[in-house]
Structure 1
Amino acid sequence: MAVPSPTYEERLKAYEGRAAAVAGVGKDPVNEPMIRHWCEAMGDTNPAYAGPDAMAPPTMLQVWTMGGLSGHTGRSEAYDELFALLDGAGYTSVVATDCEQEYLRPLRPGDEITFDAMIESVSGRKTTKLGTGHFVTTRMDVRAGEELAGTHRFRILKYAPAQSKQRKRTEQPGPKDRSNPKSRRPRPVINRDNAGFWEGVARHQLLIQRCSGCEALRFPWLPGCNACGCLEWDTVEASGDGTVYSYVVMHHPPFPAFDPPYAVGLVELSEGVRMVSNVVGVPYDKVRIGMPVRLEFQRYDEELELPVFRPGGTGEGGGG
């Protein structure tokens, strides 16, 4: 009796549990220069990351596994095969959706990094605002010597864009046609670590985490304190005043939900933490570093409301 050929979904599921990388070796040991560059880029002055007893910021976990332009040896063919299968089915676009990290041991300069990765899950067919496709989750176990230091999960969506069907340009919805679902802004990824923040946004509150141990404020939200390691926290509500610490002007790509050029600011709140958001109510070429801004909540459609910043408030402006 002939054995029926596996269905497409069964072929995808067959990749779950298969290795994506085997016995990978970090290109460099954990080292002080890379830690310093990371901390400077992030504006993180935690003394735990400097000096003779320095540790690497936990969020650098994936950094030590990156292969650079030359890649890594030990890469499995399974990942490439899975991508080829998805590409062949028309899911040719890819977007990173979220990642999760678990820290088990601090990494310190001199630690030699090894890692193994596996395809943890391939979802069934999902329809999203971007298009229809499959979520692929890869799990990477990162080791210092023989000791497990942490786990990194990375999730992507391989999809066929929702607007991939050929249509006349005159039929395309305009960038401000908010009644059409295809022109709506992408939704934020909400998980167990940041759900409280978005619940606050729904109440028109901008909530900042506060460590219950050292009372350090932190943003964006994290499962634990990056200053003392405490896992307990509460929140404080931001006053809404801030200044533009830095900014960029976005010209591309022209997604239907956006109308470039527009300014995206790194706003330093009066409480001392920084967040990324749109600067509205002023021409993009008039945004300046040091400009005082004030929080407001802007509705984009019936489901999405986001915190943005408008010139004003009590912050002190500066040059730029």
Structure 2
Amino acid sequence: MSEEVDELGVRLKAYEGRAAAVACVGKDPVNAPMIRHWCEAMEDTHPAYRGPDAIAPPTMLQVWTMGGLSGHEGRTEAYDELLGLLDESGCTSVVATDCEQEYLRPLRPGDEVSFDAVIESVSDRKTTKLGAGYFVTTRMDVRAGGDLVGTHRFRILKYAPARRAPRARRPRPVVNRDNAGFWEGVAAHRLLIQRCTGCGTLRHPWLPGCNACGCLDWDTVEASGGGAVYSYVVMHHPPFPAFTESDHAADASGPYAVGLIELAEGVRMVSTVVGVPHDKVRIGLPVRAEFRRYEDEGAEEGALVLPVFRAVEGEG
């Protein structure tokens, strides 16, 4: 097995530096409607993205290169061949791990985007909790009017899933340096909202800077916990051992509602709606935050505390 994997690694390395796309052209020029949709989805109200001198948010760089279902002319066979080799070796699963972007100049409505892509690197064989496989990094150079405007690196892990007994363990949130304060508050049964010290704007989810004025300084306010369902979806999935307790469905393995909750303070938060059956949840339903503790036997992190929102009887 080890000899086979080493041989595969050598074959994969031969793809480094090969083109994945050549002289591709964006399906649409940079345009104001797409910028507006993006800003609304991100709740980004920065004035630089509006008006006659508007620029596109830098993080939209990849948007202008997407090929949709029909793809792009100019795509080479090298990348598909590389993934095919990995599939044949048993590395049939894939997960996107991270991306890096570098911005050299702003894009503006009317800019025509073109790009080339290259297979920049293939790692040695790596063993992860998901399974053993290879990290593949592609680099895309994006141009407008012949000028390089940005670079987008995208990294995936193609791996053979590890075979192990499933653990009845509730998935845990990803905690990083930007949101650690929120989860520390949740552990103490406090719902903390970021507040910009520059303009006073409240924001959630937590971000390193204010999306209204760009200020990097902030403090927190504690939410009252009251709110209402702004929108919701009903989740249907096969029974999963980690989700066995329920007080919002007759069958603990049955459907449940996940709501976008608008807090009394004005920000919105996603969490489970409890206290009523899923088919009784409605837009405008009054709710109040509560904190649930989940004990995971043998978990190194200890107990997990999560905020949920309970329907408030007699209101609304």
User: Partner letter of residue 282 of structure 2?
Assistant: R
**Which residue pairs with 1:286 in the alignment?**
280
CA distance 1:36–1:116, shift in 2 (3 Å) = same
Structure 2 unmatched ranges of 5 or more: 244-252
1:125 aligns with 2:110: no
CA distance 1:191–1:309, shift in 2 (3 Å) = closer
Scaled by the length of structure 1, the TM-score of the pair is 0.74
CA contact (8 A) 1:98 1:189 kept: no
**Which residue pairs with 1:233 in the alignment?**
217
Of 23-32 and 237-246, more deviation after overlay is shown by 237-246
**Which residue pairs with 1:243 in the alignment?**
228
The within-5 A match list for 1:132-211 is 132-162=132-162, 181-191=166-176, 193-211=178-196
CA distance 1:43–1:120, shift in 2 (3 Å) = same
**Which residue pairs with 1:88 in the alignment?**
88
Secondary structure of the residue aligned to 1:68 is coil
C-alpha deviations, 1:116-171, integer Å up to 9, x for none? 3344554533332x5554444444343333444444443433333456x9xxxxxx
Q: How many residues matched?
A: 297
Q: CA deviation at 1:197?
A: 4.3
1:27 aligns with 2:27: yes
CA distance 1:298–1:12, shift in 2 (3 Å) = farther
Secondary structure of the residue aligned to 2:167 is helix
CA contact (8 A) 1:242 1:313 kept: no
Q: CA deviation at 1:21?
A: 2.9
CA contact (8 A) 2:92 2:158 kept: yes
**Which residue pairs with 2:249 in the alignment?**
none
Q: Name the Cα RMSD after superposition.
A: 3.7
**Which residue pairs with 2:246 in the alignment?**
none
1:310 aligns with 2:304: no
CA contact (8 A) 1:207 1:235 kept: no
Alpha-carbon distance in 2 for matches of 1:253, 1:150: 43
Q: Which has the larger radius of gyration?
A: 2
CA distance 1:107–1:159, shift in 2 (3 Å) = same
1:217 aligns with 2:216: no
User: Partner letter of residue 182 of structure 1?
Assistant: R
User: Partner letter of residue 59 of structure 2?
Assistant: T
C-alpha deviations, 1:56-92, integer Å up to 9, x for none? 3343222111101110123233321221122112121
Alpha-carbon distance in 2 for matches of 1:133, 1:255: 27
Alpha-carbon distance in 2 for matches of 1:139, 1:191: 26
CA distance 1:146–1:92, shift in 2 (3 Å) = same
